[in-house]
Amino acid sequence: MKKVINEELRICSCSIKDVTSEESTKIIFECYYEGFNLADLRIYYHPKTDIITLIEDTESFEEYKKVTESYLKLSPEDRKSYKINNIALIKVLDAVLDKRVIIAEEKIKQELFKPVKELLGNQYIPSDDELGMIDMIYKNAYDYAMARVDLYNYAFIQGKRAERARRKKGLKKVEEMKPKELYNELEGMKVNEPERFNLLKAATTLNSEQLKKLLSAVENIQQVGVEA
């Protein structure tokens, strides 16, 4: 019969006598385990139940219990150091405990991905030009890691362009607006100051100097609350 050693870390223990032939079959085909054979079994992890089981009647029980609890509590960076300083335990760390860590991290990633997946399902289909650019990014990237970075940045740039176009579409001709009206419009759009000039320049026939004067009047309203 299994005993709970650590409920939080989902660690149990049992005697080798409690490992039935049915359980043995599961361990061989479904679990990650450490030991030369089932008669020499010390520890195993079942991904479906997410439980690590230590075999009580082995000489290494207390050592494995201590290692298991310590290792699972460590940060990813500390786990690397732990391995370097405990070469003798590398078999159990690689064969069982790392599998538990990897599977647990994958579950967390899947949960974090759910809302992102939902958002992605509501986005537009890229144009042929955009798909072509994505292909070019892959072809020209130094390696897979840089390709991911470049794709992220390209998507970010495209998002900024789309947002700018959306705001421009919703903004009537700048030259027809009084400073106070323009101020209210920009505040409503939540356009921050660094973006204002480029956004307005795309929606006006005013030259740069005229636009700067208009924005200066808008900033005056923002700072002192007085209509220019």
Q: Token digits for 153?
A: 């940045």
Where do the DSSP E strands lie in the chain? 3-6, 11-14, 32-34, 43-46, 51-55
Residue 29 has, within 13 A of its CA and on its CB side, a CA count of 6
* 215 neighbors 196 (Cβ within 8 angstroms): yes
pLDDT for the residue 26: 83
121-134 pLDDT, tens digit per residue, is 877 788 898 889 99
In the β-sheet with 51-55, what is the strand arrangement from edge to edge?
3-6, 11-14, 51-55, 43-46, 32-34
pTM for this entry: 0.57
Q: Is the pLDDT of residue 102 over 80?
A: yes
Average pLDDT, the chain: 79
154-179 pLDDT, tens digit per residue, is 988 888 887 777 666 555 555 556 66
Please give the average per-residue pLDDT across 27-35, as a whole number. Answer: 82
Which of helix, strand or coil describes residue 54? Answer: strand
3-state helix, strand, coil in the chain (%, to 5): 65, 10, 25
Q: Which amino acid is at 27?
A: I
108-159 pLDDT, tens digit per residue, is 899 999 888 888 887 778 889 888 999 999 899 889 889 899 999 998 888 8
* 101 neighbors 50 (Cβ within 8 angstroms): no
Residue 201 has, within 13 A of its CA and on its CB side, a CA count of 10
Q: Which sequence spans correspond to the domains of the chain? A: 3-118, 128-167, 171-224
Distance between terminal CA atoms of the chain? Answer: 82
